[in-house]
Chains A and B, each alone.
Chain A
Amino acid sequence: MNAYERQIMNRVEAACQRIAPLWPLKNVVAVNPYMGLSQESFWQAHNTLQRMTGKGLCMLRDYYHEQIARGQIERLDLAEALHRLGSPWDVPTFEQLLAHNSTPSSKPFPLVTDVLGRIDGEDWSNFVVERMSRYCAAYFDVGQARWSMPWTDASLYRGWHEFSRFDKTTQTMGIRGMRQALVEWPKSAPDAIVWAVRDLNVPAEAMDEYLYAALLSIGGWAGWTRYLGWQGEMSGTHLDAMRDLLAIRLAWDALLYRVCASEALTTHWHQAISQMVQPTDHRDVGSRIDVVLQTAFEVGYQRKLAKSLVQGPKAANPSERPNVQAVFCIDVRSEVYRRALETVTPKIQTLGFAGFFGIRMEYLPFGAAESERHLPVFFNPAYRIGECLSHANPGEINTLMVRSRIRRRWFKVWETFKGSASSAFVFVEAAGVWSAAKLIGDSMGWARPMPRPERMGLSARIRARLGPALNSREGCMADGLTGIPEPDRPSVAEFLLRSMGLVQDFGRLVLFVGHESTTSNNPQATGLDCGACGGHSGEASARTAARLLNDPLTRCGLMSKGIQIPTDTLFVAGLHDTMTDEVRLFDMNDVPAAHAVDVTHLRRWLVTAGQITRLERAEALGLGHVSESKVHSAMRKRSRDWAQVRPEWALAGNAAFIAAPRDRTLGRDLAGRVFLHEYNWRVDPEFATLQLIMTAPLMVAHWINMQYYGSVVDPQRFGSGNKVLHNVVGGSIGVLEGNGGDLRVGLAWQSLHNGSEWVHEPMRLTVFIEAPQSAIEGVIAHHRKTKDLIDNAWIHLFQIEDDGSLNRRGPNQQWSRYDPTSSGSHLFHPNTKTCETGTVERG
């Protein structure tokens, strides 16, 4: 490889890094679709995307007009936004400009197929996406096809080369010579890329963008290959699937350019690409207006939130020991429930922590051969925990295992009988008619919800006895070691407790509440589960944490680490069903008699809190007309409804992240829009926990926030379209919209829109951290990714002082006092300082 080629390959690598991974349907994890752009400032990224795709990071103008009309954006906010952006405009000038300006439009970066399409009227770009998507689906298929593609052992690119040699589609479309061109075309991906950019004469200045545009045109599958690459990186292997995908896309461009060669094509292509090289004028007024509007929209929310933080009720100093400390996931849905629980009784104290409860584990479901990662996607698991049957002897377990294996095999035999060409017809004639019963059962909701697929095929009695085991091979027959070795337990427990700031004043009960969501017939169901548990139910993590801390050995070890857990403290695991707001408690048979009363009280409180939460959520779910006593059954019915495309609103509306003691937010209605992480810097002398919060939970919240942002702002590219057209592809890879097209990423329209308006408001995450400024700066200085996030304005960072006052970190890394209660009149005057949009101004 010569220097030129190496240089191209470096650029290919860089382009690949700009695509965000896409997790499979079996464990959907929210991903920031813009993660590859985080090294640019937010508004630079806006410009980049605008140029690449024609759609930046702002909503259409109508949306903002509507927000102004509804008072969501006030003049005050516009003034603040103009001030923050360092704009020379004042509010009246801005309003005048706004009145005479409409959303700017721009054309996306062209590929050869776009240019060719413009010449002969055939939609070649979509044709290529269709062909590639079809090929990728076959190559990556994990269970839909019965006859799998013969080249799955070859590389993605090589397989395509072989596949295409038989493929007559292009020829049928009326293009001659494709086969011959393909025979001459290189069989290795790097060569193909080099050939393509050489043949197409892509100028060096446009190279990065051309490669990026090529990947974006098949962005869904690019995301899938990035996911595979990500999995590879986590386990230390390197995968070239994404480079191969890019090579295929470029090959299409180059081969079509070759076989459809004409004077017109050459001229138009060179014209198109050279236009893209010329510097564009980002000083365009329309674009700047959008920037101001989006900022003002966020400022408006910040002001209201900050006001409630500053002005809200002061927490009374708790004097007596709480009966229960309940630890919930930071998920915004927990905020509503926690608030409800606290109003039920002052004897409960609630905390927020990432729903994997600090246990980095992979979980091996009962009878499974492979384990699932139940932890945030940035981490590698440290332990493998097996799901085991309690109070069981080896004989019973063995019987169950054999039975479940037979059942699985029989299921496979039956599925093949239903589907294979030689038996499908007889199947229909002999057994198809039983589907009538299934139709009735499903239509009336009797047959659902089915047990979670992870536990399919086990009876309810057996399911109730399953749970994670701390000791290896205790009631599970897994190969290899499982559980957490005894010497490790105290340090795992210490990490867990210190991270959630729970090192003293333990209550009689400490409840760890994981969460999951019960829905029916929902391909994206796991997207509603716990993201911190890697898109799984939070049950296993909560139960493991509780078992770990009830373990006498752990407690003993903790003492030497300075954490004294009273002997009358019991850890209990629970599971919050975010669909119905029911909280289930686990391992209740093991509760000592002394705690029986506490548990009884707790149960009662949970039931009441569940009802309060449901009533709060009912309106948004369109159940506002249902009487209070029926809301519960209405929500249960909803969870069983196989036609329900809006089971719950999940994290729609998320807008802020607060890391502070609960006292700061206690009694405030945060409307289920805020991630709450418990943090008390006074018990974190080294700021190790602060560092953790700012690098992991904050990052997770930001990813979720941006997933929602992208799905609303650019639903075509970063959203997964209309649920009524969803078509599961490759077994459990993802969904297509309708008949084909690219693999879809992000969230569906129904998850964000209620039919009359967007339920999610796209805004960057506003972050409040209660910690000394120096400590926060310390973390920023040492963590590149966090620094990018903050310095590049992908989030808004505020600091809470001890007295509750607020400081805002500006883009020039300066902290300034932020007073949400001031009228802001000083802001109405124009200024000339340069700051945040410096980048917009400079282009």
Chain B
Amino acid sequence: MPEISRFITATLMLVLPGPLIVIGLGMGLSRSARWIKTLTKGAAWFALMGAVLAAGTYFLGMSDSKTYFSARLPMRLGQIALSVDGNSLTVLMLLLVAFVGMVVMRFSQTYLQGDPREGPFHRWLSFVLGSFLMLIASGNTWEFLILWVATSLGLHQLVMFYPERPIAVLAARKKYLLHRVSDLSLLVALVLMVRTLDTSQLASITRTLEGIHGLLPEPLRIASGLLVVSAVLKSAQFPFHGWLVQVMEAPTPVSALLHAGMIYAGTFLLLRMAPLMSRVMWAGDALLVVGLVSIVIASLTRATMTNIKGSLAYSTSAQVGFMLMECGLGLYSLALLHIVSHSVYKAHAFLSSGSAVGHLRTPAGRVETPAASLGKVIGSLAMAITIVIGMSILLGVFLHQQIALTFMGILLAVAVAQMLLQAFNLKSHDGNGVVWITLTSGVLISTAFFGLALLFARLSVGVFPATHGSAGAVRDGLLGLSVGVFFCLLFGQQLLPRISQHRWMQAIYVHCYNDWYFDVLFTRFIRRVWPDHAEGSSLPSPLADPLWEEIS
């Protein structure tokens, strides 16, 4: 292959966010909404086309990493460089974010028409998108860190888009504070890694790590802990998830972009650092625990939510928890699959949240009261397990070879059982129509699940380290606990109609609906460290009314 074509992917990846960032930095541009809209549209298309081409050329094998500019740093901090890593993780993520970014951009062009700050909105959207794309492609630790901070600061501007709304300001500040702690952890972790491994290129970090056998040196183990902290704080995990819910004080496309992209920054970091993370067992255990706690609490809270955007936000918190759990278990390719699927799913759910009313306008049939029984539960579980095992054998997935995979198989069986149970409960005089549809869906879902898992495993060969068979007693215990939790969720859902009137269930309901009060405490803390809770904005909102301000 000719010399130059080896770097086509890398060049595309470097160039594609360029226009977005330039627009984002061009302050004067935002004065004319029409101009900046045309420009951002062009830039977003450019980024998407670039990402598609980059993916194409990558899979044709033109995928070498490339460093374009570098400068040495003192104190053994390696070098800072403008550098691009082309691997299936970065290429896929670029494609995903460029695609969702494009959709969100198109949506905002109409959605925000006429807003007094329409111009700045598009400018900041451009900036966030551009810097996030660059962060994904980045192959140098210090470049990564700078873009990591820049994306967060840009997002801050979008979250604060209506600075006259006190809750918006509060949410932005919570996010701001957590993200700065996350930045600091990442900084320290990177310093430790670079100084220990003597390189600041992500690609060579992987290579150097491969050379170290046995227990990693102390600084690296500390670094992996700090990476966990940094990733978790970015991922809106319990009890620091309040801001994610309150971000709906910013326009819908901001939520869509956040839930479809920036919220995975933490998971992405873990995936990028997988060669290190996979070597430190307790870091994985910590991720598992954090993820599991968020899964349980956010899922329960979500069930009680009465507004659509709140429900979507809690669901994201739980889903990101699940991704962290997968990272902790070393199921990196599944985590990547989860990012991709959840990103497009949540972007669509947010952007179409206005259609929620439609479902309730459809003619309602007679109300049916489901009746669960132990027999049905056991029966459907048995059927689900049969389906899952059957499909896994057919597709050649060997669930028993790795305990983490067995775990995923159990989760799949629980989910399918959940669906079957519902169908059994709804059975009525119309025959078994629903049951048959559900059984077919169960098979299809298992097929899709294993198929996609295999596909992503295939795609990410060589990017993520292979996980090992057994992982110690602590891990096994945690996995057992997790399985127990999922079974409890399944049974709890079935039993809910019967137990919801119990005193303790009432208490749990109220506490869940109130989000276990941690956010109230955090709010009070923020108010104390950051006293004025409505920034005086010079830009009047169309809705702000001077009279109103005088009163409050």
> Could you tell me which A residues sit within 8 Å of B by CB distance?
25-26, 54-55, 60, 103, 105, 107-108, 123, 126, 134, 137-138, 141-150, 162-163, 166-169, 172-174, 365-370, 402, 405-406, 408-410, 412-414, 416-417, 419-433, 435-436, 438-440, 442-443, 450, 452-454, 456-457, 520-523, 525-526, 622, 641-646, 715-716, 721-722, 724-732, 736, 738-740, 749-750, 753-756
Contact = CB atoms under 8 A, between A and B. Distances in A.
Given A25-B357, A55-B547, A439-B344, 7 more contacts: A141-B306, A147-B500, A150-B501, A429-B449, A521-B352, A731-B356, A740-B307
B214 to A, nearest CB: 34
- The 10 A-B residue pairs with the shortest CB-CB distance, nearest first, are A755-B114, A368-B363, A432-B341, A421-B299, A423-B415, A426-B415, A453-B361, A166-B510, A432-B345, A137-B306
Nearest to A731: B360
A443 B363 contact: no
Contact of B358 (A126, A453, A643, A729): A453
Nearest to B245: A739
25 contacts: A55-B545, A60-B545, A105-B547, A137-B306, A138-B513, A146-B303, A147-B509, A367-B365, A408-B362, A410-B437, A413-B422, A420-B489, A421-B493, A422-B415, A422-B493, A423-B415, A427-B415, A431-B445, A442-B351, A453-B358, A725-B162, A725-B249, A738-B168, A738-B248, A755-B115
B510 A163 contact: yes
A724 B533 CA distance: 23
A738 B115 contact: no
B106, B338, B411, B510 — most chain A CB neighbours (10 Å) = B510
B252 interface: yes
A739 B249 CA distance: 6
A419 B453 CA distance: 21
A413 B434 contact: yes
Contacts of A412: 422, 426
B545 to A, nearest CB: 6
B433 interface: yes
Nearest to A365: B363
Contacts of B509: 147, 149-150, 166
A424 B411 CA distance: 10
A25 B352 CA distance: 16
Given A435-B348, A727-B308, A732 B360 contact: yes
B543 A722 contact: yes
Contact of B543 (A365, A419, A749): A749
B7 interface: no
Nearest to B496: A147
A3 B418 CA distance: 58
B106 A643 contact: yes
A730 B357 CA distance: 10
B481 to A, nearest CB: 15
A842 B360 CA distance: 51
A521 B430 contact: no
B398 interface: no
A422 B486 contact: yes
Contact of A167 (B348, B441, B510, B543): B510
A422 B414 contact: yes
B127 interface: no
B160 interface: no
B307 A150 contact: no
B419 interface: yes
A725 B248 CA distance: 7
Interface residues of B, number: 130
Contacts of A144: 305-308, 311, 356
A54 B547 contact: yes
Given A138-B304, A147-B303, A162 B167 contact: no
Given A166-B511, A424-B319, A724 B358 contact: no
Interface stretch (B64-72, B76-84, B278-286, B517-525): B517-525
Given A60-B546, A439-B100, A410 B517 contact: no
Contacts of B115: 724, 755
Contact of B347 (A55, A425, A431, A439): A439
B506 A166 contact: yes
A408 B433 CA distance: 12
A727 B309 contact: yes
Contacts of A740: 167, 307
B103 interface: yes
B551 A54 contact: yes
A205 B368 CA distance: 52
Interface in B312-345: 315, 318-319, 322, 334, 337-338, 340-342, 344-345
Contacts of B351: 439, 442, 521, 642-643
A520 B351 CA distance: 11
B363 A454 contact: yes
A56 B104 CA distance: 40
B530 interface: no
B112 interface: yes
Contacts of B249: 725, 738-739
Interface of B: prevailing SS: helix
B411 A425 contact: yes
Given A422-B490, A738-B248, A740-B167, A168 B303 contact: no
Interface of B: 99-100, 102-103, 106-116, 118, 162, 165-168, 171, 245-246, 248-253, 295-296, 299-300, 302-311, 315, 318-319, 322, 334, 337-338, 340-342, 344-345, 347-349, 351-366, 368, 411-412, 414-416, 418-419, 422-423, 426, 430-431, 433-434, 437-438, 441, 445-446, 448-449, 452-453, 486, 489-490, 493, 496, 500-501, 505-507, 509-514, 517, 520-521, 524, 533, 541-543, 545-548, 550-552
A145 B304 contact: yes
A482 to B, nearest CB: 14
A838 B340 CA distance: 69
Contacts of A167: 510, 514
B344 A145 contact: no
Given A412-B426, A433-B452, A725-B248, A172 B521 contact: yes
Given A369-B364, A421-B300, A738-B165, A428 B341 contact: yes
Contacts of A54: 547-548, 550-551
B219 to A, nearest CB: 35
B321 to A, nearest CB: 9
A450 B185 CA distance: 48
A166 B347 CA distance: 35
B361 A426 contact: no
Given A424-B315, A428-B338, A728 B414 contact: no
Given A172-B520, A420-B493, A643-B111, A108 B551 contact: yes
Given A144-B305, A166-B511, A369-B364, A410 B524 contact: no
Contacts of A641: 110
Contacts of A736: 307
Contact of B354 (A168, A169, A523): A523
B517 A726 contact: no
Given A724-B111, A725-B251, A168 B511 contact: yes
A305 to B, nearest CB: 28
Contacts of A169: 514, 517, 520
Contact of A150 (B337, B500, B521): B500
B433 A406 contact: yes
A728 B307 contact: yes
A105, A173, A755 — most chain B CB neighbours (10 Å) = A755
B362 A454 contact: yes
A646 B113 contact: yes
Contacts of B250: 725
A455 to B, nearest CB: 8
A440 B48 CA distance: 13
A641 B337 CA distance: 30
Contacts of A150: 500-501, 505-506, 509
A739 B353 contact: no
Contacts of B311: 144, 419
B299 A424 contact: yes
A408 B367 CA distance: 12
